[in-house]
Amino acid sequence: MRPSISPEHPRPQLQRAEWTALDGVWEFAFDREGTMSRPEQVEFDRAILVPFAPETPRSGIGDESYTMAVWYRRRFAVPAFQPVSGDRLLLHFGAVDHEATVWVDGGRAGHHEGGYTPFSIDVTDLLRGDGDHEVIVRAGDDPHDLGKPRGKQDWLREPHAIWYPRTTGIWQTVWLERVPECRIDLLRWTPNLERWEIGVEARIAGPRRDDLTLELTLSVGDGPHRRMLAHDRYLMVSGEANRRIALLDPGIDDARHDLLWSPDTPTLIDVHARLLDPNGAVVDEVASYTAMRSVRVDGGRFLLNGRPLYLRMALDQGYWPGGGLTAPSVDALRRDVELAKAMGLNGVRKHQKIEDPRYLHWADRLGLLVWGEMPSAYRFSRRSVERVSAEWTQAVLRDVSHPCIVAWVPINESWGVPDLPVDAAQRDYIQGLYHLTRALDPTRPVIGNDGWETAATDIVAIHDYDDDPALLAERYGNGSSVPNLLGRVRPLGRQLTLEGHDHRGQPIMLTEFGGIAFTPPSEAGATWGYARAESEAAFTAHFTEMLLAVRGCRMLAGFCYTQFTDTYQEANGMLAADRTPKIPLEAYAAAVRGGVRRFGGEG
């Protein structure tokens, strides 16, 4: 069966036809003190709806109490995946917070650390008998551990300030996949507009063979309008290949532009990949996609496909009523992308969360720029350096092929590195993360420390919650000079650039501002924002004035408004937590888009 791209597939850019989700009702048990280490010690005494965390109402539990570990168990049948002719059965986890140990049919299958990144286990050799099989998962997640990447998960018992309920255990899809013994294990894509080609990094898994060929067919369009762009074959020597796929240059600007991916024209290139044996028989085949686009910074501007683009973004924390970090459906993920575009935004900064890959699929398909950001640890130590660096590496490599991703943010507001101005080790750390990210992906800008205390960055990203539009206009407006700005402005008392790291012409963006809370009067006492409006008219006026002031600041190459939706007690969203707009979408779009900007970029 030839695979095709499905928006439901948990891994959008490497899809096979034979997969099934294990989401649904699992048996569940709390291990409050984390004392149990073996499945036979556990008494499963309740049920949980996977993939919702036990802290959430949607899970069917809704218990936000401290717990050191949780346990899961379910039976599953594999008639459609019964291993034959050397086929293997893989068990995939989208994300389990924070450490996961897995058993299948009584045998220990594997272990993974990192609450925001996926892992897979070949369970074929553990399956016992021909009937149902059993999977058990232990998720360890110390709620007091400040040295692990935890993002916005509160360490206090009750959510406070800008931190929210914890996420323990499974919170993204669990799924099974039947695969051949020799199979396509990796496809990564790197477009190059200057050479009009696409780089592919491919790898196969399974027994070592040097006689397999990878066949790639690239096409664009649907139905009778579909046209082939390339049809290449590569011998997979040593099980891997790094190749450049040259596209036929039509020699006409309009024809070239037709292939370029952007928020206005999100053209995707479909890929059909087949692994062939020496006789031409198909060993494995997958569906993938890529796009032709480039991002870089130059002359104080952000460039998309070589042209200046003014970024109009919102801070998006990706929480859902009743579901925490887990969306209620894939349709809900698509709707978030559609709402962002309807409000005039061309991008979002995914804040303190590695988002579900299916959100990135819809951002790719519908045309929404995304800044990928690492969830922070809150304590600096050798161990935290190791944990953040390892998980950030996994996150970048997971998402590096998505065209929607246009920037990386490994650190936010000096979280986890509180003494940057005086601690050389902490400065070395954020510079190390910056260069690690650039090494993993040299094609996108990296913001080493978003907010202030910049020591290594491709964009000077400033957080400023002054609620007076006139002061923002004065601070970042036409009359300001960059040296004066960076030397004088100190949000929350923090210097914008560290000594020895002066501005070198990077774009300057206001990447957090606004935060105007607007809720029904009955909720005002339980919610907060950086400013507050008492009526829809007042909120509309204040929001519009803020956006008018910021858009008029010619020093800025873009902005990121706080925030996309209300999130628990923080009620400063453009949308309510249930995605209800607080004012008409057209009013948001008018304020966000404004007129044509400088540099020829859009407003």
In terms of phi and psi (left: phi > 0; alpha: psi -120 to 50; beta: otherwise), the region of 523 is alpha
CATH of region 183-192+194-290: 2.60.40.10
Cα distance between residue 404 and residue 418, in whole Å: 31
Mean pLDDT of the chain: 94
User: What is the band of 486 on the pLDDT scale with cuts at 50, 70, 90?
Assistant: confident
Contact 434, 459 (CB under 8 A): no
**341, pLDDT greater than 90:** yes
Cα distance between residue 79 and residue 85, in whole Å: 15
Give ranges for CATH 2.60.120.260 in the chain.
24-172
Q: Which fold has domain 309-600?
A: TIM Barrel (3.20.20)
Cα distance between residue 145 and residue 379, in whole Å: 9
Q: Which 3 state secondary structure label does DSSP give 340?
A: helix
Give ranges for CATH 2.60.40.10 in the chain.
183-192+194-290
The pTM assigned to this predicted structure is 0.96
The bridge status of strand 69-76 relative to strand 169-170 is unpaired
8-state DSSP, 426: H
197-227 burial code (b ≥16 CB/10 A, e <16) = bbbbebbbbbeebeebbbbbebebeeeeeee
Cα distance between residue 510 and residue 162, in whole Å: 19
Tens of pLDDT, residues 409-440: 999 999 999 999 999 999 999 999 999 999 99
Helix (H) or strand (E) holding 216: strand 213-220
User: What is the band of 226 on the pLDDT scale with cuts at 50, 70, 90?
Assistant: confident
Q: What is the structure's pLDDT at 83?
A: 57
Residue the block writes with tokens 């990564």? 188
Cα distance between residue 410 and residue 449, in whole Å: 7
Q: What is the mean pLDDT of residues 261-268?
A: 97
Q: What is the mean pLDDT of residues 549-574?
A: 96
Q: What is the structure's pLDDT at 254?
A: 56
Q: What is the structure's pLDDT at 358?
A: 98
Contact 12, 357 (CB under 8 A): yes
Pick 329 or 519 by higher pLDDT.
Answer: 329
Domain 24-172 CATH (choose: 3.40.630.40, 3.50.90.10, 2.60.120.260, 1.10.3210.10): 2.60.120.260
**599, pLDDT greater than 50:** no
Cα distance between residue 436 and residue 559, in whole Å: 26
Residues 6 or more apart whose Cβ sits within 8 Å of residue 212 = 182, 204, 235, 236, 275, 276, 277, 283
